[in-house]
Amino acid sequence: MKLMNSIQEIQSYVAEEKKVGRTVGFVPTMGYLHEGHLSLIERAKNESDLVVVSIFVNPLQFGPNEDFDRYPRDLDRDKKLAEEAGADVLFVPETQEMYPDESVVTVSVNKRVDALCGETRVGHFDGVATVLTKLFHIVSPDFAYFGLKDAQQVAVVQGLVDDFNFPVKVIGCETKRESDGLAMSSRNVYLTEKERKEAVHLSQSLLKAKKWLLDGDSGETEQKMINYLEEHTSGSVEYCKILSYPELLPPTPDTNKLIVAVAVKFSKARLIDNVILDPILLKQGSEEETCSVH
Ligand SMILES: Nc1ncnc2c1ncn2[C@@H]1O[C@H](COP(=O)(O)OP(=O)(O)OP(=O)(O)O)[C@@H](O)[C@H]1O
Ligand SMILES: CC(C)(CO)[C@@H](O)C(=O)[O-]
Ligand code: BAL
- Alpha-carbon distances of 266 from 36, 43, 125, 222, 252, rounded to whole Å: 21, 32, 22, 20, 33
Q: What is the pLDDT of residues 158-192, one digit of tens each?
A: 999 999 999 999 999 999 999 999 999 999 999 99
Q: What is the pLDDT of residues 13-69, one digit of tens each?
A: 999 999 999 999 999 999 999 999 999 999 999 999 999 999 999 999 999 999 999
Same domain, 200 and 131: no
> Does 184 sit in the ligand 1 pocket, CB within 6 Å?
yes
Domain boundary among 173, 208, 225: 173
- Alpha-carbon distances of 8 from 4, 30, 138, rounded to whole Å: 10, 21, 8
Among residues 37, 137, 201, 294, the one annotated as catalytic is: 37
> Does 187 sit in the ligand 1 pocket, CB within 6 Å?
yes
Judge whether 181 lies within some domain.
Answer: no
Phi and psi at residue 46, in whole multiples of 5°? -70, -25
Same domain, 196 and 141: no
- Alpha-carbon distances of 61 from 49, 87, 108, 127, rounded to whole Å: 30, 25, 12, 4
Q: Ligand 2 center to residue 285 CA distance, Å?
A: 34
pTM comes to 0.96
Taking a C-beta distance cutoff of 8 angstroms, is the pair 49, 23 a contact?
yes
> Does 261 sit in the ligand 2 pocket, CB within 6 Å?
no
Residue 124 known to be catalytic: no
Question: Where in 15-168 does DSSP place strands (E)?
Answer: 24-29, 50-55, 89-91, 143-147
SS3 142: coil
Q: What is the pLDDT of residues 122-151, one digit of tens each?
A: 999 999 999 999 999 999 999 999 999 999
Residue nearest (by alpha carbon) to ligand 2 atom 7: 128
* Domain limits for position 36: 2-173
Rounded to an integer, what distance in angstroms lies between the CA atom of residue 99 and that of residue 246? 30
Domain boundary among 173, 204, 223: 173
> What's the number of domains the chain is made of?
2
Rounded to an integer, what distance in angstroms lies between the CA atom of residue 88 and that of residue 158? 25
